[in-house]
Amino acid sequence: MAARRPTASRKKPFIRAVFFDAGNTLLRAHPSVGHIYARTALRHGVRVPADRVDQRFRDVWKNRHGVAHLKNDGAEKEWWRNMVSQVMGPHFTGEKFLRYFEDLYGRFAHPRHWRLFDDAIPTLRALRRKGYRVGIVSNWDSRLVTLAERIGLTKEVEFLLVSSVEGLVKPDRRLFHKALGHVRAKPREAVHVGDSLHEDYRGATRAGLAALLLDRHNPGPKGVRSIRTLHEVIDFVEEQ
């Protein structure tokens, strides 16, 4: 069934489509990436503070610029093997690292290690009921396709664009333009919501979309349109 056009009267151009980042916007690792790394390390005889791993992961992730197009599952796995090595290398070497990595890689593919934020599904459903076109644009590897299905996210959106599948990584404007193509919307008719100032907010605005920076804990930077909860997305699009 085709999505209904938003019914509220407003001056054109109005928002027709809402795109969301996935990680730390709609869902999060549970209880955190660092905790999962640390708990798995303990199974392999290594004790490391979870908060320290969380910080190290964020630092390494920023420098690797997301998961780009990789030719097959083996290439994706190698990308993550290098990533984990940079995060946990001081604690694991050789065969011990390989055993640890295989254990860890499998855990992140399982839905029990992920949680949807409480406001995710209600917001997606409310937007679609009001006639907005809704999709996900994520810097992730191809495991997100299956993971989103297993945690009940896929059925709540019209499409899912994953960087490693599309061969494009946010903030590349071409990834946002692909999303626009899925819903046949112009850039000025769409808003993108995400937690990364560089990948989501600036990527979207440079592609011509409106953008909302999600920060659940702190006010956004000066001059940046920011929100604390996904419920605020509904208010924003209806005010446009």
Q: Tokens in use for 107?
A: 């855990």
Measure the CA–CA gap between 170 and 152, rounded to whole angstroms: 24
What mean pLDDT is predicted for residues 158-182? Answer: 95
9 pLDDT exceeds 50?
Answer: no
Contacts of 240 (CB under 8 A, 6+ apart): 10, 14, 15, 191, 210
1 falls in which pLDDT band (50, 70, 90)? very low
In order, the DSSP letters of 36-70 are HHHHHHHHTT----HHHHHHHHHHHHHHHTS----
Percent of the chain predicted with pLDDT > 70: 91
> Buried (b) or exposed (e) across 204-238, using 16+ Cβ within 10 A?
bbebebbbbbbeeeeebeeeeebbeebebbbebbe
Query: Which domains does the chain carry?
Result: 17-26+117-239 (3.40.50.1000), 29-113 (1.10.150)
Predicted confidence at residue 64, as pLDDT, reads 79
Q: What is the pTM of this model?
A: 0.90
8 pLDDT exceeds 60?
Answer: no
Predicted confidence at residue 137, as pLDDT, reads 98
Percent of the chain predicted with pLDDT > 90: 83
Measure the CA–CA gap between 205 and 155, rounded to whole angstroms: 27
pLDDT in tens, 201-240: 999 999 999 999 999 999 889 999 999 999 999 999 999 8
pLDDT in tens, 62-96: 887 667 666 567 888 999 999 999 999 889 989 99
Residue 134: CB atoms within 10 A of its CB come to 20
